[in-house]
Each structure stands twice: as C-alpha cells, then as structure tokens.
Amino acid sequence: MIPAVLFVAVSGTVFALAKLHLARPTLASSGPVQLGDFYNGGTVFSQTCAVCHGADGRGGKIGPKLAGTPITLARAKAQIDAGGSVMPAGLVKGQQEKDVLAYLATIMKTQ
Ligand code: HEC
C-alpha cells in the first residue's frame, strides 16, 4: 500500500514539473498581442533595450539583432515577460510593453 501511494505522489510531482517546464513555450500562443503607440515604443526601446540590442535593434554586444529578424510578436512578448539568459524578465509592462511591441512590429520581420 505505501509504495503505491509513494508512486502516485512521485509521478504526480514529476508530471507537475513536466507541465511547468512545458508551460514556457506555450506562453507564445496565449491570444493576440495588443499593440500600443510605436512612436513612444521607439523611445522606450532606445532607453531600455538598445543598451543590449543596439540602436534600432540592429544588434549589440549582448543582445541579438532584432531588426529584420523573423520573430512573431507573441514570441517577442513572451521573451519580454519571461526574460532569457541575461535579459531580465518584465523590463517593460502594461502600456509601455504594448508600445514597445508596436515598435518591434516596425523593425522585426513579424510575417
Ligand atoms: C541586459 C541586456 C538586454 C536587455 C536590456 C534587453 N535584452 Fe532582449 N535579449 C537579450 C539577450 C541576451 C537575448 C537572447 C536571449 C536568449 O537567448 O534567451 C534577448 C532576446 C530578446 C528577444 C528574442 C530574440 C529572438 O531571436 O528570439 C526579443 C524580442 C528581445 N530580446 C526584446 C527586448 C526588448 C523589447 C527589450 C527592452 C524592453 C530588451 N530585449 C532588453 C538581452 C537584453
């Protein structure tokens, strides 16, 4: 009896962990991405993102080139929300994030 209970507990934990892990990529498919004001977004980008991604997202020493790069807006939003490697999570939120995404839509190749 005890081993069966243990088995359920362990496999339950493993399943939960597996689900947590899988939850990250699905962030990218969580509904349409709302866009704000691209002009303001450009200002936010140059103040917050260009330090790593270069002026106009043309690539910097730390962050990858964004200009002309094929990335969906959902993917970009997921990256902004969750961060990745040295990119901090949640650098911009709410209206500022919408504005930055509107700006990214003008420089990235968002298909
Ligand atoms: C501290 C440096 C840094 C800052 C600041 C930064 N990023 Fe990044 N960014 C990175 C790095 C490094 C990566 C690659 C991360 C990875 O491989 O997971 C990245 C990846 C990305 C990607 C995904 C690129 C791809 O090819 O999938 C997007 C989109 C992005 N950043 C947008 C932004 C935006 C918008 C801002 C400003 C709000 C920003 N970043 C600020 C370092 C930075």
Residue whose CA is at the smallest distance from ligand 1 atom 39: 49
**For residues 66 and 71, what is the distance between their CA atoms, to the nearest angstrom?**
8
What digits encode the pLDDT tens for the residues 53-97? 999 999 999 999 999 999 999 999 999 999 999 999 999 999 999
Q: Which of 52, 81, 96, 97 to mutate to test the pocket of ligand 1 (most atoms within 8 A of CB)?
A: 52
Q: Residue 110 Cα, ligand 1 centroid: separation in angstroms?
A: 16
pLDDT at position 12, please? 60
- Output the six-digit token pair for 73: 């807006």
CB 36 within 8 A of CB 99: yes
Using alpha carbons, select from 109, 111, 36 the residue that is nearest to residue 67: 109
